[in-house]
Amino acid sequence: MTSTIDPKAIGKPVRARRHVRTLTGYLPEVDATGKEHWPRGEEEVWQAGLRGVDQDVPSITKSIVNHVQTSLARQAYNLDDLGAYQAAALSVRDNLLVNWNETQLNYTRKNPKRAYYLSLEFLMGRTLDNALLNLGLKEQYRDGIKKLGFSVEDILDKERDAALGNGGLGRLAACYLDSGSSTELPLWGYGLRYKYGIFQQLISPEGNQLEAPDPWLDNQNPWELPRLDVTYEVRFYGHAERLSDSRGVWQGGQEVLAVAYDVMIPGYGTKNTNNLRLWESKPKRGFDLNSFNAGNYEAAVASSNSADAITSVLYPNDHTSFGKELRLKQQYFWTAASLADIIRRFKQQGKPLKELPDFVAIQLNDTHPTLAIPELMRILLDEEDLNWEQAWSIVTNVFFYTNHTVLPEALEKWPVPLIEHVLPRHLQIIYDINLFFLQAVERKFPGDRDRLARMSLIEEGQPKQVRMAHLAAIGSRKVNGVAELHSDLVRTTILKDFVEFEGSSKYSNVTNGITPRRWLDQCNPELSDLITKTLKLDKVVWLKDLTKLDGLLEFTEDAAFRKEWAAIKQRNKERLANYVQTTLGLTVRTDAMFDVQIKRLHEYKRQTLNILGVIHRYLTLKGQSPEERKKANPRVVFFAGKAAPAYYIAKLTIRLIVNVARVINADPDTKDYLQLYFLPDYSVSLAEVLIPASDISQHISTAGTEASGTSNMKFCLNGGLLLGTVDGANIEIAEEVGESNVFFFGHLTPAVEDLRYQHLYHPVPLEEKCPTLHRVLEQVSAGLFDDADIYEPLLNTIRQNDYYLLTDDFDSYIAALAMVDEAYADKEEWTKKSIRTTAKMGKFSSDRAILDYAESFWNIEPIPVTAKK
Ligand code: NBG
């Protein structure tokens, strides 16, 4: 034997890679009689070694101690809360994996059609509490952890949020995964394992938002299972050539490795545990050895760095489209790896590819995964040798596309030269799709050139751009919006031509939903218990069929019940006040109405309207005598939310809120009647404290701009009332709970275009149009809250143009706030409204929404693992 290394062999696998049976998707082999035979060793010995889900306190504490001792290599005397959290989490994970394995094996055996949810964002929040709830082990862990000398609350608090998302779109994806497992659907998620999630928001002394990285993986992440053997190679750049019959080849460029990390998604009240597979990028080879040998160390590590960069950060942008190469690479990396994995799983069954749509449905969450369409075409044409018609027919029966916004600035477009550079073969395919598509349009609407230009996948200009929403629409079997109004707007505005061409049945609606497990039972346990007691139902029953909440209606007239209901709200307010005290050192009064607006900062969401309303209230109070003031309804106003780091106006709004808070909270004349807080670093966990504490919450977007909203559902489910515009899911909430239980104001969607036209062509000076708002702006300009000039750019968006219609809606907004005050004065009636609101939220469970997708789109069915618990 010689120890000399052959340089040519460096970096090459020792032997050709063979497909080994280490992946999921295999079944035991059967003998001639059809009986499964044990693959190796003594079956009894194996069986004795296999574990089930721990059920009793002694097994649980044993497992936790075991993890302290082995996984953490610590002892009782050097274990802190974080260590206890980690050990408890690892023991929970063991249980999840037992169910996960069983679920996956069951799917393999039954081989059903499966659905895959492709989302660039999954805003999961914390896992431990949810996993315990879904496993039905909350009480056992509470007892066990106590016996080990820790408190479950302290331990839960040690977990960091998995914040792999920006806002509603990412949180919706997380709710859908929970519901997919809870309804026992064979549904997997595919996403990216960002090393850094959404930034941490800090507020400087001047009130500016500062962004710090979120290194959420700094501590070991117990909720993922690295699958270092599940890897795919993903190519970028290089060159593409066309062959005959629409086929092509793509070679050269850079190859990057995608490595799978699996996150277990337990269902509630079932063993079904689905998978969220997140990809991490890795250099295919750590070093480019040629450069390394030539002494060029920097070039050698450069490609490794660029490969690692792909999954290093979540883009913190929200409702913007931006032509960044790295973002395009993220999108392709993720869709290519996910498709490769899906096709591998399908092919393992030995079925012909034309049957793919019978076994696979892929949901595109917004346009971010649209490259999956040309990528599947590439695989089918170039690798599987299908012809164009065969390939296109498969593609258009596999994909489904959900649109989440009609805002023009958020509709993704990619410059043609960029796609050509990064994905040359895909650009050819996109051009081919476009040609065939436009030829068909031309046949239906001969000579209508404007229509062809409007519908083309390619927008003319310098540079030309690929319109991803058009590609997603024509490449999918169904397209939907996320609330009735929004779906109507999709059909009548951004995709109108497509509806005319393809017919309206392809374009439908699935109103969003939220998981009542996290958004009621976990965040508001007292209310959940009261509901269980009152409905006289097992908790599992109503948490899995939320329409059962309807049964609360008959208790609205029950004074004792109302008292309990109101007392819980009060304790939730105290819990929030306590949070503010411990985190910010500020004392919040809890005998006032809690008024909350929490969401990403964006002009269309109109936090500015809210803060200007607060200033108006402040000025009004200041102008009153102490006697008059005593009649005021005391209010505490909370804001929380992040602004995209480059969104100047949104950041200025934060600054204004923070500085108004500083002045108002220090004013002895008014501070008993009005307090204002901006809570930094909004997150899922913070939402879980804020939402149950709200008396009223604000959802006040310009009509027609908020596709759905999902926090509106969360507040209402927790008995908070809604103050909003006639927009998104607010409308459906009002339909359910009754208009007398919500507070609506503002212009309606059909009026918006005309108002904008008036602003541009027939402007009326603000002092005439809306003197109340004029007075507020004057005070801000005069420097009442900060340096006089700072806010001018923000105020000018209102004075000039006013695209989001603050000047049109301000007066009715103030009137609506007054109605809220008046209604709140009658506490009994308010509590009735609160009960009625919760009672009518059944429609908004994400279980309903996911079943809707399963039945009307994906055509998949529940595949229960075994009998329910
Ligand atoms: C957001 C909408 C919300 C909606 C969520 C989830 C995007 C692009 N859209 O109104 O603005 O609730 O999606 O559907 O993030």
- pLDDT higher than threshold 70 for residue 804: yes
558 confidence band (pLDDT: 50, 70, 90): very high
| Protein residue with least CA distance to atom 12, ligand 1 | 709
DSSP 159: P
List, chain by chain if needed, residues with CB within 6 Å of any ligand 1 atom: 167-169, 172, 319, 366, 404-405, 410, 482, 512, 706-710, 728
**172: CA distance to ligand 1 center in Å?**
8
Kindly report the pTM of this predicted structure: 0.96
**685: CA distance to ligand 1 center in Å?**
19
Mean pLDDT score of the chain, rounded to an integer? 95
**553: CA distance to ligand 1 center in Å?**
31
pLDDT single digits (tens) 420-443: 999 999 999 999 999 999 999 999
**Mutation pick for ligand 1 pocket among 171, 315, 370, 404 (CB with most ligand atoms within 8 Å):** 404
**706: CA distance to ligand 1 center in Å?**
7
**Residue 200 in tokens:** 């941490």
Determine the pLDDT at residue 18: 43
Q: What percent of the chain stands above pLDDT 70?
A: 95
Main-chain phi, psi angles of 560, to 5 degrees: -65, -40
**599: CA distance to ligand 1 center in Å?**
11
- pLDDT higher than threshold 80 for residue 19: no
Question: CA separation (Å) from 267 to 100, 168, 562, 795?
Answer: 10, 21, 32, 48
Q: Which residues pair with 724 in a beta bridge?
A: 699, 744
Determine the pLDDT at residue 503: 96
Determine the pLDDT at residue 13: 45
- pLDDT higher than threshold 60 for residue 12: no
Give the mean pLDDT of 102-121: 96
**643: CA distance to ligand 1 center in Å?**
15
Give the 3-state secondary structure of 1-62: CCCCCCHHHCCCCCCCCCCCCCCCCCCCCECCCCCECCCCCCHHHHHHHCCCCCCCHHHHHH
DSSP 721-770: EEEEES-HHHHHHHHHH-GGGSEEES--HHHHHHHHHHHHHS---HHHH-
Distance CA 34, CA 37 (A): 9
Q: Cα angle at 764 between 759 and 768, to 5 degrees?
A: 140
Q: Which residues are catalytic?
A: 404, 599-600, 605, 710, 714
165 confidence band (pLDDT: 50, 70, 90): very high
Determine the pLDDT at residue 22: 64
CA torsion sign for 568, 550, 728, 802 is negative
Distance CA 201, CA 468 (A): 31
Among the listed residues 363, 460, 472, the one whose alpha carbon sits nearest the alpha carbon of residue 860: 363
Count Cβ neighbours within 10 Å for each residue of 607-616 and write b for 16 or more, e otherwise.
bbbbbbbbbb
Superfamily of domain 113-126+161-434: Glycogen Phosphorylase B; (3.40.50.2000)
**105: CA distance to ligand 1 center in Å?**
35
Question: Distance of alpha carbon 135 from its chain centroid, rounded?
Answer: 23
Determine the pLDDT at residue 291: 62
Q: Which atom of ligand 1 is nearest to the CA of 512?
A: 14
DSSP 379: I
Amino acid at 302: A
Would you say 307 and 284 are in contact if contact means Cβ atoms under 8 Å apart? yes
**42: CA distance to ligand 1 center in Å?**
54
Determine the pLDDT at residue 300: 66
Q: Which atom of ligand 1 is nearest to the CA of 707?
A: 10
Give the mean pLDDT of 543-552: 98
- pLDDT higher than threshold 70 for residue 108: yes
Count Cβ neighbours within 10 Å for each residue of 701-735 and write b for 16 or more, e otherwise.
bbbbbbbbbbbbbbbbbbbbbbbbbbbbbbbbbbe
pLDDT single digits (tens) 277-287: 999 999 987 55
Question: Distance of alpha carbon 281 from its chain centroid, rounded?
Answer: 22
Determine the pLDDT at residue 294: 65
| Protein residue with least CA distance to atom 13, ligand 1 | 169
Containing 597, the helix (H) or strand (E) segment is strand 593-598
Q: Which atom of ligand 1 is nearest to the CA of 168?
A: 5
- pLDDT higher than threshold 50 for residue 1: no
Q: Which atom of ligand 1 is nearest to the CA of 482?
A: 14
Would you say 757 and 798 are in contact if contact means Cβ atoms under 8 Å apart? no
- pLDDT higher than threshold 60 for residue 30: yes
pLDDT single digits (tens) 486-533: 999 999 999 999 999 999 999 999 999 999 999 999 999 999 999 999
DSSP 267: P
Residue with tokens 């779906």: 487
What CA dihedral angle connects 359, 364, 370 and 372, to 10 degrees?
-30
Count of CB atoms within 10 A of residue 168's CB? 24
**168: CA distance to ligand 1 center in Å?**
5
Beta strand 635-640 with 507-509 is unpaired
Question: CA separation (Å) from 206 to 210, 586, 611, 657?
Answer: 11, 17, 17, 11
Question: CA separation (Å) from 95 to 63, 103, 132, 264?
Answer: 10, 13, 10, 10
| Topology match between the domains 113-126+161-434 and 516-844 | yes
Q: Which atom of ligand 1 is nearest to the CA of 402?
A: 14
* 4/255: higher pLDDT: 255
Among the listed residues 115, 291, 165, 207, the one whose alpha carbon sits nearest the alpha carbon of residue 710: 165
H-only helix segments in 50-113:
57-69, 81-110
Q: Which residues pair with 225 in a beta bridge?
A: 262
Would you say 232 and 258 are in contact if contact means Cβ atoms under 8 Å apart? yes
Instruction: Give the gyration radius of the chain's Cα atoms.
Output: 28
Count Cβ neighbours within 10 Å for each residue of 804-823 and write b for 16 or more, e otherwise.
bbbbbbbbebbebbeebbeb
**Mutation pick for ligand 1 pocket among 317, 405, 710 (CB with most ligand atoms within 8 Å):** 405
**Residue 353 in tokens:** 């590819």
| Protein residue with least CA distance to atom 15, ligand 1 | 169
Q: Which atom of ligand 1 is nearest to the CA of 172?
A: 6
Question: Distance of alpha carbon 729 from its chain centroid, rounded?
Answer: 16
**170: CA distance to ligand 1 center in Å?**
9
**Mutation pick for ligand 1 pocket among 364, 406, 482, 604 (CB with most ligand atoms within 8 Å):** 482
Residue 780 region, left (φ>0) first, then alpha (ψ -120 to 50), else beta?
alpha
Under DSSP, is residue 363 helix (H, G, I), strand (E, B) or coil? strand
**Mutation pick for ligand 1 pocket among 120, 122, 169, 407 (CB with most ligand atoms within 8 Å):** 169
Amino acid at 357: P
Determine the pLDDT at residue 104: 96
Determine the pLDDT at residue 91: 98
Count of CB atoms within 10 A of residue 310's CB? 24
**Residue 841 in tokens:** 């939220």
Distance CA 639, CA 776 (A): 19
| Protein residue with least CA distance to atom 6, ligand 1 | 169
- pLDDT higher than threshold 50 for residue 868: no
Count of CB atoms within 10 A of residue 123's CB? 25
| Protein residue with least CA distance to atom 9, ligand 1 | 404
Q: Which atom of ligand 1 is nearest to the CA of 404?
A: 9
Crossing angle of the two packed helices 648-665 and 607-622, in degrees rounded to 10: 20
**404: CA distance to ligand 1 center in Å?**
5
Q: What share of the chain is helix, strand, coil (3-state, %, to 5)?
A: 50, 15, 35
Among the listed residues 692, 723, 719, the one whose alpha carbon sits nearest the alpha carbon of residue 577: 692
Q: Which residues pair with 41 in a beta bridge?
A: none
Residue with tokens 């109108």: 496
Among the listed residues 568, 696, 712, the one whose alpha carbon sits nearest the alpha carbon of residue 633: 696
pLDDT single digits (tens) 650-666: 999 999 999 999 999 99
Determine the pLDDT at residue 16: 42
Amino acid at 134: N
Distance CA 118, CA 370 (A): 10
- pLDDT higher than threshold 50 for residue 15: no
| Protein residue with least CA distance to atom 3, ligand 1 | 709
Give the mean pLDDT of 243-251: 95
Domain ranges within the chain, ordered by starting residue: 19-29+53-110+136-159, 113-126+161-434, 516-844
Determine the pLDDT at residue 295: 67
pLDDT single digits (tens) 729-759: 999 999 999 999 999 999 999 999 999 999 9
**Residue 646 in tokens:** 């480059």
Main-chain phi, psi angles of 444, to 5 degrees: -80, -35
Q: Which atom of ligand 1 is nearest to the CA of 171?
A: 6
pLDDT single digits (tens) 291-319: 666 667 677 667 777 899 999 999 999 89
pLDDT single digits (tens) 675-713: 999 999 999 999 999 999 999 999 999 999 999 999 999
Q: Cα angle at 60 between 59 and 65, to 5 degrees?
A: 100
Distance CA 279, CA 191 (A): 6
Determine the pLDDT at residue 21: 60
Q: Which atom of ligand 1 is nearest to the CA of 319?
A: 8
Residue with tokens 């596309």: 401
Under 8 Å CB-to-CB from 562, ≥6 apart: which residues?
Answer: 555, 556, 828, 831, 832, 835
The CATH class that applies to domain 516-844 reads alpha beta
Among the listed residues 12, 4, 15, the one whose alpha carbon sits nearest the alpha carbon of residue 289: 12
Determine the pLDDT at residue 2: 41
Determine the pLDDT at residue 609: 98
Residue count (the chain): 869
Q: What percent of the chain stands above pLDDT 90?
A: 90
**720: CA distance to ligand 1 center in Å?**
21
